[in-house]
Amino acid sequence: MRLIIAVDGPAAAGKGTLAKSLAASLRLPHLDTGLLYRAVARQMILAGLDPSVDDGERTAQALQPADLLRDDLRVPDIDRGASSVATQPPVRAALLKRQREFATESGAVIDGRDIGTVVFPDADLKFFVTASAGVRALRRYQQLHGASARDEAALSALTAEIEARDRKDAERPVSPLRQADDAVLVETDSMDAGAVLAHALAIVRERF
């Protein structure tokens, strides 16, 4: 089935995990669009540029084909850098084209912030995955430090960081983080990854 499924939501809500497992279950390609913004931020930082400075010329230089499989794209500098470059219209325009090309031929599950609203407003199915900031921070913290680790100060710093990034993503004028009117809302506070996948697959099977 050549389906385009959009999975949007705030940071660390579980949308990447859902998109990846949904793609595997449905045998569709998966694109994590956050990696595109992260790769641009990384290239800017490596070139000695400040990702928070909006300068079309300099940003354009950072838009070379990027290696998206690097494991050093999920570090705090790049978290912040990616949400800065993501506010810049020339960056979004260049990445929009790449995202559409990726999915148009064989369908895909694509996760990000604006997939259901801007990149594929006519997607066959849209999910908006969310959870409270505290739950999202705890999940990210445990990913970084292991399931039994617990440092309240570090956890509250991470919660503040996640809230700041959500605010920046939701308040920017271009392609802000927003639930599409026709998206299925999935609140994952009390669901684990397996339950989220089962719920999403049930919706796919009901509709197609």
Q: Which of left, alpha, beta for 175 (phi over 0: left; psi -120 to 50: alpha)?
A: left
Which residue among 86, 133, 158, 196 contacts ligand C5P (CB under 6 A)?
Answer: 86
Among 49-57, 106-114, 153-161, 178-186, which window interacts with ligand C5P (CB under 6 A)?
106-114
DSSP secondary-structure letter at 73? S
Query: Binding segment for ligand C5P among 42-50, 80-88, 123-131, 135-143 (CB under 6 A)?
Result: 80-88
| Shortest distance, position 206 Cβ to ligand C5P, whole Å | 26
Q: Which is nearer to ligand C5P, 171 or 202 (CB)?
A: 171
As a whole number of angstroms, the distance between CA 135 and CA 12 comes to 9
Is 30 near ligand C5P (CB under 6 A)? no
Judged by CB under 6 A, which stretch of 32-40, 59-67, 101-109, 193-201 contacts ligand C5P?
Answer: 32-40
| Residues of each annotated binding site for ATP | 9-17
Angstrom CA distances, 97 to 70, 118, 163, 175, 206, stand at: 22, 11, 29, 14, 31
Residue 33 lies near ligand C5P (rule: CB under 6 A):
yes
Contact between 169 and ligand C5P per CB under 6 A: yes
Q: Are 155 and 138 in contact (CB under 8 A)?
A: yes
Tokens of 60: 């354009």
Calpha distance 52→41 (Å, rounded): 9
* CA distance readout (Å), 19 to 56, 59, 82, 193, 201: 31, 29, 20, 11, 11
48, 15 Cβ separation under 8 angstroms: no
Binding residue for ligand C5P, selected from 28, 49, 82, 103, defined by CB under 6 A? 82
Residue 23 to residue 143: CA distance in whole angstroms: 22
126 binds ligand C5P (CB under 6 A): no
Q: Which residues are annotated as a binding site?
A: 9-17
Paired strand residues for 6 = 110, 126
| 161/187 with CB nearer ligand C5P | 161
Closest separation in Å from C-beta 117 to ligand C5P: 10
User: What is the contact surface with ligand C5P in residues (CB under 6 A)?
Assistant: 11, 33-34, 37-38, 82-83, 86, 112-115, 165, 169
